[in-house]
Structure 1
Amino acid sequence: MFQEVLGAYGLNVEKFKIEPFGSGLINHTWKVYNNEVAYILQEVNTEVFRQPQNIAQNIETIKKYLDQTAPKYLFVAPIPASNGDDFVLLNEHFYRVFPFVENSCSIDFVHHPEQAYHAAKQFGKFTRMLCAFNVKKLKPTIEDFHNLPLRIEQFKAALEQASDERIGEAKFAISEIIRHYDIEEQYGHMVDSGALSLRVVHHDTKISNVLLQVESGVGLCVIDLDTVMPGYFISDVGDMMRTYLSEANEEERDFNKIAIREDVFAAIHKGYMEEMDQVLSFTEKQFFIYAGKFMIYMQAVRFIADFLNGDIYYKTTYPEHNLIRGLNQIDLLNKYIAKQLKFEEIIKKINDDKVGDAKTILN
């Protein structure tokens, strides 16, 4: 496979070392390198991305726009193959090659607030630079990816057909999802009222999807652009809340380790709003805290629905795996909601400090 794919890019496989790269769970990724040059080779998971041509088209369309409007921005797009195509199709598998960005790195977990700040700033910058872009030019790469009403309908359907045994095991989780139906109701009101503007958003804002400078830790750009498509800012902000705030991730079985780091919340708000403050409407800004509830709740719903369905979507390694994941996210959600007043205080302080700084400059 390597010989045929790399050959399509004019690369001699015998002149390179090839090794698995990164921690992504969807696509297969390798680093291809020698003493002179390095590339990233990736096989697109067509079970998840059923129309990879849409990915290629979206990235190419955005690249052309940014080349014109922000030519200095580091936009890591695939390298065209020798025939000019963005993908190489081999035995019904889609492959692509990216340049490897020297002196860059990615991390899997947020260890301190500065990392959250730089990541949030990069995701905000990406959407800001595309605020004048015609979002209708982009095609969905995963249909209904963050469609919360659909996820609730899927949960209800799973609940109707689930075995008594699974319903019994998930009794508490089910009751908590039902108790928080208001999160989905609020989302429906927001969308129906037009309170949220459709924008170009990343949709997968985990910390590993940001390149950082090796020495300074400063953010360089966002990567893994397969889920870039039309959406609402709450998807990007909410996914950062879900994956940055607690040191314990969704696989943690000891829920005592799930804790909300207020300094990380402040860092997310500061970094993102430094880029998006002039882009988001006043109404959208009121939903910044809601964004965390939206994404955490949706992931809990998806895990519990899959458990009720007999674990047909997410890979599991033990019988209660999806149930534990769902309960983990429910615990995170409840701890997040308990911090809402504190979050409001944090945002107010950041905004007050911003006004104070502006007055100092004027004086």
Structure 2
Amino acid sequence: MENVLKSIINQFEIQSEFESFQELNSGHINDTFLIKTIQKPQYVLQKINNIVFKKAKKLIGNKIFVSNHLQQKLKYLPQKEIQQKVLCFVKAKDGTFFYEDANGNFWNASIFIEESVTFLKAENTQIAFEAGKITGEFLELTKDIDSAKITTILEDFHSVTVRYHQFKKALQHASEKKINQSKELIHFIEEHIEEMQEIDIAIQQNKLPLRVTHNDTKISNILFSKENKALCLIDTDTVMQGVLHFDYGDAIRTLCNTADEDEINTTKIGFNFEFFKSYTEGFFQTCKSATKQEINLLPISIKVLPFIMGMRFLTDYLNNDSYFKTTYQKHNLDRATNQFVFVKKITQQFFKIKEFIQAQ
């Protein structure tokens, strides 16, 4: 593996000689490696999963486009500081920003952000606040990009309507045993589907501005300083045209669930209202361009994103686990249960949630 990675990183305009490598396990789809060189900077080398991402070259193009835009926005800062706040990509020796290997895999390289840390879960309200700040800042700094210039990498990624159609199709072909095991969850979907399509309808009726959105704003996709200050939003593979509710709602989904996504003891699942408040305060501190209509639909986005995820897990369970990695037979069923219980916990505090958002 070392010789392969050394050969690939040498296709890029790196400033020092390859020394060693370390595999980074922060993502679940792409292969990512820290390339250590004799002198700084060090680099992050990534192989795009071309099974999940059919448009790998365009995906890299999106990342470069957004990176260049952010660097231009922050050009008043010293270059070293920009490289702490923005994923800065390295050109290949042929002048592009990617390398295609003999097997048709696409690779890209970026400058490693030194002395940064990541969290799998928010440890306190300060981290939640900083997560909100950096996500809001990303949306604010990219608001003037013509989102139509960004290639859609995964069609209808956060569309409740499309995910519901996929669920119904899976239901038609599922075994009777799996349908019986899923009865309560199927009923939950049918009971709430109309409410959960509110954002879809607003998009269709052009009531929400389309923006450049990150689409995967979990806490582990944020780099922090050792002083717990958010530095940079990373893993921009899913940067696409969307609405800010996708980024806000998904961040809350992963930040405010008191249990892990795989937790089967549903009594441990709750909605951390203090983390929600801190995240929201940070988000509004930097995202100044949110319209009244966008703000009105932010509360429902907190329900919609876990609902989509629960529906996706259940759909995969009915499809015999063809998409998500599982470690036991009912893994996806348990994950779906987890997300729907979380939606119920949000519903119990929904009046307080709406009141707090409207007060910002």
TM-score by length of structure 1 reads 0.91
Conserved 8 A contact 1:235-1:295: yes
Structure-2 separation of matches of 1:321 and 1:44: 26
Which residue type is aligned with residue 109 of structure 1?
K
Question: 1:299 aligned to 2:309?
Answer: yes
User: Which residue number corresponds to residue 58 of structure 2?
Assistant: 54
Structure-2 separation of matches of 1:289 and 1:314: 28
Conserved 8 A contact 2:30-2:49: yes
Structure-1 separation of matches of 2:147 and 2:230: 25
TM-fit CA distance, 1:7 = 2.0
Comparing 141-150 with 327-336, greater Cα deviation is found at 141-150
Conserved 8 A contact 1:162-1:308: yes
Conserved 8 A contact 2:309-2:339: yes
Q: Which residue of the other structure, out of 6, 29, 52, is the alignment partner of 2:9?
A: 6
Structure-1 separation of matches of 2:38 and 2:343: 47
Aligned pairs (5 A) from 1:342-353: 342-347=352-357, 351=360
Structure-1 separation of matches of 2:108 and 2:353: 42
User: Which residue number corresponds to residue 285 of structure 2?
Assistant: 274
Question: 1:118 aligned to 2:121?
Answer: no
TM-fit CA distance, 1:192 = 2.7
Q: Which residue of the other structure, out of 255, 273, 280, is the alignment partner of 1:244?
A: 255
Conserved 8 A contact 2:326-2:332: yes
Question: 1:32 aligned to 2:35?
Answer: yes
Which residue type is aligned with residue 58 of structure 2?
N
Structure-2 separation of matches of 1:238 and 1:126: 15
Structure-1 separation of matches of 2:62 and 2:238: 10
Question: 1:232 aligned to 2:235?
Answer: no
Structure-2 separation of matches of 1:224 and 1:335: 29
Structure-2 separation of matches of 1:211 and 1:229: 21
Change (3 A) 1:92 1:65: same
Which residue type is aligned with residue 3 of structure 1?
K
TM-fit CA distance, 1:6 = 1.8
User: Which residue number corresponds to residue 357 of structure 1?
Assistant: none
Structure-2 separation of matches of 1:237 and 1:106: 19
User: Which residue number corresponds to residue 329 of structure 2?
Assistant: 319
5+ residue gaps in structure 2?
none
User: Which residue number corresponds to residue 260 of structure 1?
Assistant: 271
Conserved 8 A contact 1:6-1:12: no
Conserved 8 A contact 2:35-2:44: yes
SS of equivalent to 1:104: coil
User: Which residue number corresponds to residue 94 of structure 2?
Assistant: 83
Conserved 8 A contact 1:6-1:13: no
5+ residue gaps in structure 1?
352-363
Aligned pairs (5 A) from 1:153-232: 153-214=165-226, 216-232=227-243
Residue by residue over 1:64-118, the C-alpha shift from the partner in whole angstroms, topping out at 9 and shown as x without a partner, is 3334333235321321122222111112111121111112111111111211111
Conserved 8 A contact 1:139-1:229: yes
Question: 1:41 aligned to 2:45?
Answer: yes
Structure-2 separation of matches of 1:128 and 1:268: 16
User: Which residue number corresponds to residue 355 of structure 1?
Assistant: none
SS of equivalent to 1:16: strand
TM-fit CA distance, 1:63 = 3.2
Aligned length: 348
Task: Name the Cα RMSD after superposition.
Answer: 1.8
Which residue type is aligned with residue 18 of structure 1?
F
User: Which residue number corresponds to residue 16 of structure 1?
Assistant: 19
TM-fit CA distance, 1:34 = 4.2
Conserved 8 A contact 1:43-1:96: yes
Which residue type is aligned with residue 103 of structure 1?
E
Conserved 8 A contact 1:119-1:207: yes
Which residue type is aligned with residue 273 of structure 1?
F
Which residue type is aligned with residue 33 of structure 1?
K
